[in-house]
């Protein structure tokens, strides 16, 4: 068997990016992203890399040196097939003009209050209740003209957005980049407690304030801004890229992602995507470097309604061993100890 190793990704090489001239200031994280993800995906989150995200709860159990034998690292990857585009775009990302553009794009998106509530009526029953999403779509079209001129856009259930950026090699499985347009609602009674108004999109020189500035208009705008930037430099992906943006993720996603998923399966087939990039676990600063934490599982969700009937009585003096809440808790505990529930891996289809 040969000791030679082929590149982890086609069109890449395990070399470091060219050294920049002294005095050139770059933002932390930009080059590392380019080194570890192939020519498109390292641009998916440029805006995220401009904003500090602290995740104190996410840490690593051992120091890097002592962990090397547990998790051997390959050399960083740097794009070769599109090296010229890579260098050009890296300089764009390091510019003040790009920072201003990214801030303006996200700030403008935050200013459109695409709130979703559990009490919102279904779209087909009251379209007017969802009208903010129409405004948001107009904003996206105005802010990202190259995306809307170059990519195929399909609307699913009125406000679900699916873009397709056709690659040069249609035999390759496409990649799927997902985000959601809606944000958690703001309780009007708490508005005076905000440092800056929740839909102001205010930029204080370091942070953008408002609903969606993190969850998840940050991700959505980053994806579109990355593609807009690549298109402006005549980049053509080898692999088809599909974008899917739901509009009710904060209230379970039944009308957004719930409708987009069957559309994607019908259009592209089952198990048809090479990989999926979604919100994920975010970015974390560790050991002097910026890490994009990988998602190794999918959180589940379910609603439970419990009806328990016992003999009557006042809760202040409940019957012995028959208080409704206590009875249910004891029964639940007993079932848990007996192994009543079991986990089902989300990767069972692989």
Q: Quick one: pLDDT at residue 347?
A: 45
Q: Is 103 helix (H, G, I), strand (E, B) or coil?
A: helix
Q: Is 323 helix (H, G, I), strand (E, B) or coil?
A: coil
How far, in Å, CA of 136 to CA of 261, rounded?
22
Helix 96-110 × helix 217-232 angle, to 10°: 140
Q: Quick one: pLDDT at residue 316?
A: 66
Q: Decide: 222 and 45 in contact? Cβ < 8 Å.
A: yes
Q: Decide: 270 and 39 in contact? Cβ < 8 Å.
A: no
User: Considering the domain boundaries, does residue 86 fall inside one?
Assistant: yes
* CATH number of the domain to which 232 belongs: 3.40.630.10
26-41 b/e (C-beta count within 10 Å ≥ 16 → b): eeebbbbbbbbbbbbb
Q: Is 156 helix (H, G, I), strand (E, B) or coil?
A: strand
Provide the domain limits for residue 204. 12-292
Residue 225 phi/psi, 5-degree rounding, is: -70, -35
How far, in Å, CA of 75 to CA of 275, rounded?
22
Active-site annotation holder among 115, 216, 248, 249: 249
How far, in Å, CA of 124 to CA of 76, rounded?
49
User: Considering the domain boundaries, does residue 302 fall inside one?
Assistant: no
Active-site annotation holder among 115, 132, 182, 250: 182
How far, in Å, CA of 120 to CA of 132, rounded?
13
Q: Is 94 a catalytic residue?
A: no
User: Considering the domain boundaries, does residue 186 fall inside one?
Assistant: yes
How far, in Å, CA of 127 to CA of 161, rounded?
17
Angle CA 44–46–48, to nearest 5: 100
Tokens read off for 315: 């809760």
User: Considering the domain boundaries, does residue 32 fall inside one?
Assistant: yes
Q: Decide: 11 and 79 in contact? Cβ < 8 Å.
A: yes
Tokens read off for 287: 């050991």
| Strand locations in 10-165 (E) | 12-13, 78-79, 152-156, 160-165
Q: Is 217 helix (H, G, I), strand (E, B) or coil?
A: helix
User: In angstroms, how far is the first alpha carbon of the chain from the final one?
Assistant: 28
Strands 275-277 and 175-180: parallel
Q: Quick one: pLDDT at residue 38?
A: 40
Q: Which residue's entry shows tokens 């962990």? A: 67
Query: Of 211, 192, 191, which is closest to residue 201 (Cα–Cα)?
Result: 211
Consecutive 10-residue runs of the chain (350 residues): their mean pLDDT?
Answer: 45 44 39 40 46 43 62 78 87 95 98 94 95 98 99 98 97 97 94 95 96 95 97 94 98 94 97 91 83 74 71 67 68 73 50
Residue 237 phi/psi, 5-degree rounding, is: -70, 150
Which are the contacts of 255, defined by CB distance < 8 A and separation ≥ 6? 122, 123, 157, 160, 247, 248
User: Considering the domain boundaries, does residue 299 fall inside one?
Assistant: no
Q: Is 249 a catalytic residue?
A: yes
Residue 338 phi/psi, 5-degree rounding, is: -85, 0
User: Considering the domain boundaries, does residue 189 fall inside one?
Assistant: yes
Q: What is the pTM of this model?
A: 0.70
Structural domains in the chain (count): 1
Q: Is 153 exposed, middle or buried (0-12, 13-18, 19+ CB in 10 A)?
A: middle
């Amino acid at each position: 068997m040969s000791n030679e190793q082929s590149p982890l990704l086609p069109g890449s090489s395990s070399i470091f990016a060219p050294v920049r001239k002294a005095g050139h200031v770059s933002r932390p994280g930009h080059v590392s992203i380019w080194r570890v993800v192939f020519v498109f995906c390292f641009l998916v989150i440029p805006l995220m890399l401009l904003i500090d995200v602290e995740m104190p709860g996410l840490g690593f159990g051992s120091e890097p040196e002592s962990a090397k034998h547990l998790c051997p690292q390959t050399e960083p990857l740097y794009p070769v097939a599109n090296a010229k585009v890579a260098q050009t775009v890296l300089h764009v990302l390091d510019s003040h003009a790009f920072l201003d553009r990214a801030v303006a794009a996200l700030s403008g998106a935050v200013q459109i209050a695409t709130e979703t509530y559990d009490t919102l009526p279904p779209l087909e029953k009251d379209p007017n209740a969802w009208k903010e999403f129409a405004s948001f779509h107009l904003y996206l079209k105005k802010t990202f003209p190259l995306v809307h001129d170059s990519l195929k856009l399909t609307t699913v259930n009125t406000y679900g957005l699916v873009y397709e950026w056709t690659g040069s090699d249609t035999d390759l499985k496409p990649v799927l980049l997902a985000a959601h347009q809606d944000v958690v609602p703001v309780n009007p009674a708490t508005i005076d407690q905000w440092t800056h108004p929740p839909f102001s999109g205010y930029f204080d020189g370091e942070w953008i304030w408002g609903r969606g500035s993190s969850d998840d208009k940050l991700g959505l705008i980053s994806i579109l801004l990355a593609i807009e930037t690549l298109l402006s430099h005549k980049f053509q992906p080898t692999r088809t890229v599909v974008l899917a943006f739901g509009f009710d993720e904060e209230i379970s996603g039944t009308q957004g992602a719930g409708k987009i998923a069957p559309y994607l399966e019908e259009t592209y087939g089952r198990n048809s995507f090479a990989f999926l990039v979604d919100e994920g676990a975010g970015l974390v600063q560790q050991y002097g470097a910026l890490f994009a934490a990988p998602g190794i599982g999918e959180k589940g969700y379910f609603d439970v309604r419990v009806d328990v009937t016992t003999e009557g009585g006042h809760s202040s003096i409940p019957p012995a061993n028959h208080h409704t809440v206590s009875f249910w808790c004891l029964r639940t505990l007993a079932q848990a100890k007996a192994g009543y529930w079991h986990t089902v891996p989300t990767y069972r289809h692989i």
